Amino acid sequence: PLANWNGDEMPLDQVRVSVLDRAFLFGDAVYEAIRVYSGRAWLLGEHLQRLRHSLKEVQIVADVDRLHERLARTLANSDVQEGVIYIQVTRGEAPRRHAFPKEPVTPNELIYIKEVEPSPTAAGEPRPGMRVVTFPDWRWKRCDIKSTNLLANCIAAEHAEVNGCDEAILVHHDGSVSEGSRSSLFAVRAGALLTAPADESILPGITRQLVFRLADRIGLRVIEEAVRHETLTQLDELFLTGTTTEVAGIIDVDGRPIGDGTTGPVTAALQDAHHRAVQEWLAT
């Protein structure tokens, strides 16, 4: 993949960084992942806005407009049509101590463009339904910040994988279900969409927000209310959303089928609306 490392373009495997970078020592960095359709960055403004929020909340000072320019240049030079742009900003390199460095430190800014398989919906094929497991939400209390501290997410994702599943959905100690390890969670109950409110306990998904707009377009009500763990398998439909996940039906939770064990009609309607929204934008 082609990378942009602090403004210089190079192959990703040639980027070198110090072990004293605080991202290596402390996970002291924030990131974004943006989908590329037909060589164009989808929902770019929303992602850059969320990056500004993450940077501000962790007090890393970086120039997002400059990152935007670099990203546009490197995306064009990469020639990637179907892909994902990864952006990471670390606090920078400094002697190891917990409190922030007091001497001026330069953030390390990485962008790279990765090619991905075209979405199945682009080929007019249905996206396969997902099997998920539930797993405790071990994360910290500021999940609205998209930080690279992802150990709890990684452990949950590994638990899903070794159990032959596609994603883990995270359960709070109070019994509410928040989101997936790398996706947002929605349910369908009596024809309305249900999803956890975007407070500090979840990442405010860009695709989640898009689904709100798509739901409005096709006349579905959205209720921001957390799903309860004990009622998960009684819901009409469950689906996940995310930048690379797009809209994906959940067909099985912890070995128990959801609905009739296939992607439900409301989920399918939203998948169709998502596909149309991308096509309409590409036509502009």
Q: Pick the stretch among 90-98, 179-187, 218-226, 249-257 that binds ligand PLP (CB under 6 A).
A: 179-187
Question: Under the criterion CB under 6 A, does residue 119 sit at the interface with ligand PLP?
Answer: no
Candidate residues 179, 195, 247, 251; the one interacting with ligand PLP per rule CB under 6 A: 179
Tell the residue number behind the tokens 């969670």, with chain if given.
185
Candidate residues 131, 182, 274, 275; the one interacting with ligand PLP per rule CB under 6 A: 182
| Shortest Å, Cβ 166 to ligand PLP | 14
Of the pair 88, 243, the CB lying nearest ligand PLP is at 243
Residue 53 contacts residue 128 (beta carbons within 8 Å): no
Provide the residue count of the chain.
Answer: 284
Question: Under the criterion CB under 6 A, does residue 188 sit at the interface with ligand PLP?
Answer: no
CA-to-CA separations, 274 to 132, 134, 169, 213, 220, in angstroms, rounded: 22, 26, 22, 10, 14
d(CA 225, CA 110): 36
Paired tokens of 71 = 């990203």
d(CA 71, CA 112): 8
CA-only gyration radius of the chain, Å:
19
Q: How many CB atoms within 10 Å of residue 279?
A: 13
Q: Pick the stretch among 113-121, 124-132, 203-211, 219-227 that binds ligand PLP (CB under 6 A).
A: 203-211
Of the pair 193, 206, the CB lying nearest ligand PLP is at 206
3-state secondary structure of 40: strand
Q: Supply the angle between the helices 64-78 and 44-58 in degrees, to the nearest 10.
A: 140
What kind and span of H or E run contains 186?
strand 184-189
Task: Report strand pairing: 237-242 vs 184-189.
Answer: antiparallel
Candidate residues 184, 195, 267, 271; the one interacting with ligand PLP per rule CB under 6 A: 184
Strands (E), 6-159: 8-11, 29-37, 40-41, 83-90, 109-115, 130-136
| Shortest Å, Cβ 2 to ligand PLP | 21
Whether 146 is catalytic is yes
| Shortest Å, Cβ 150 to ligand PLP | 8
Per CB under 6 A, which of residues 25..84 are in contact with ligand PLP? 33
Of the pair 75, 206, the CB lying nearest ligand PLP is at 206
Of the pair 92, 205, the CB lying nearest ligand PLP is at 205
Candidate residues 55, 206, 226, 248; the one interacting with ligand PLP per rule CB under 6 A: 206
* String of contacts with ligand PLP for each residue 222-261, x by CB under 6 A: -------------------xxx------------------
Annotated catalytic residues are: 146
Q: Applying CB under 6 A, which residues contact ligand PLP?
A: 33, 179, 182-184, 203, 205-208, 241-243
